[in-house]
């Protein structure tokens, strides 16, 4: 047996242990009945809450974009995209009949490369929102930003939000272990090599930006209280 066959056999053995492969003959799943009341309830709430999340976020996203709030718009749009993916995955793989499942070719391949970047963009947008609020409170001016300043602010926001996600898209090829796995309701999931690259560029960045957003939120709150006290004393 040549090395290619050995690699293929190893791949099938690994994915079979995970419960699913793109080859129907080697898929492993529970027998009939292929659905349960708890699974149906889970499906209902995943779809209902996901659609609700998209619906209630669409209008704020449009208004924020018109107002020039780039980071907040990205925050809303990423939330809508993630909720849409969750709903579609739940509807496609809504039971345990793995023999009849769609293999997810293309759809899951894309998700493998965008899942972590989308979540990173979500956290980075929140950080940028907090940074922008803190900067506005601390700004010692009464006039609005000039077009050049707004353009520069937009470029800085884009760099803060998208720098790490774009890097993650590139690095996914080097840290992914298998093509993908599929689970009921959850849909496509990827498995990554737990090395230092995955830790530094995928696991830690969302933690750091969330901590940073919390710190900026605290700074924003303190500055807001300080401004309120100054105005109260001035009156």
Question: What's the mean pLDDT in 86-97?
Answer: 91
Tokens of 210: 């969330």
**12 is a domain residue:** no
CB 165 within 8 A of CB 121: yes
pLDDT tens digits, one per residue of 179-191: 888 888 888 888 8
| In a domain? residue 71 | yes
Looking from the CA of 92 toward its CB, the CA atoms found within 13 Å total 18
Cβ atoms 118, 82 nearer than 8 A: yes
Q: How confident is the model at residue 123 (pLDDT cuts 50, 70, 90)?
A: very high
Task: Answer whether residue 120 is part of any domain.
Answer: yes
Range of the domain at 103: 17-24+31-234
72 inside domain: yes
Nearest 5°: phi and psi at 188? Answer: -80, 135
Q: Under a CB-based contact definition with an 8 Å cutoff, are residues 213 and 126 in contact? A: yes
Would you say residue 42 lies in a domain? yes
CATH number at residue 141: 1.20.1070
**Choice between 95 and 142, residue whose per-residue pLDDT is larger:** 95
- pLDDT, residue 34, reads 76
State the average pLDDT over residues 71-89. Answer: 95
Whole-number Cα distances in Å, 50 to 44, 58, 83, 158, 200? 10, 12, 5, 26, 30
Overall domain count for the chain: 1
For residue 80, being part of any structural domain is answered with yes
CB 207 within 8 A of CB 116: no
Which residues touch 80 (CB under 8 Å, ≥6 apart)?
53, 54, 57, 58, 61
Is residue 6 a part of any domain in this protein? no
**pTM for the whole structure:** 0.80
Q: Is residue 7 part of a domain?
A: no
Q: Is the pLDDT of residue 36 over 60?
A: yes
């Amino acid at each position: 047996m040549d090395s290619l066959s050995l690699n293929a056999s190893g791949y099938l053995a690994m994915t079979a242990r995970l419960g699913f492969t793109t080859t129907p003959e080697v898929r492993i799943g529970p027998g009939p009945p292929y659905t349960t009341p708890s699974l149906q309830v889970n499906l209902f709430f995943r779809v209902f809450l996901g659609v609700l999340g998209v619906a209630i976020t669409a209008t704020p996203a449009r208004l924020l974009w018109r107002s020039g709030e780039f980071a907040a718009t990205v925050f809303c749009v990423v939330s809508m995209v993630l909720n849409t993916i969750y709903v579609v995955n739940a509807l496609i793989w809504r039971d345990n009949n793995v023999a009849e499942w769609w293999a997810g070719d293309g759809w899951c391949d894309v998700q493998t490369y965008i899942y972590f970047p989308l979540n990173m963009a979500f956290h980075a947008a929140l950080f940028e929102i907090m940074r922008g609020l803190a900067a506005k409170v601390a700004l010692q001016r009464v006039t609005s930003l000039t077009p050049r300043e707004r353009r520069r602010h937009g470029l800085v926001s884009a760099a803060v939000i998208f720098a790490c996600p774009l890097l993650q898209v590139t690095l996914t090829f080097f840290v992914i272990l298998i093509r993908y796995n599929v689970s009921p309701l959850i849909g496509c999931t990827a498995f990554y090599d737990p090395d230092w690259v995955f830790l530094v560029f995928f696991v830690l960045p969302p933690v750091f930006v969330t901590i940073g957003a919390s710190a900026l939120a605290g700074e924003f709150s303190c500055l807001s209280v300080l401004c309120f006290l100054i105005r109260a004393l001035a009156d």
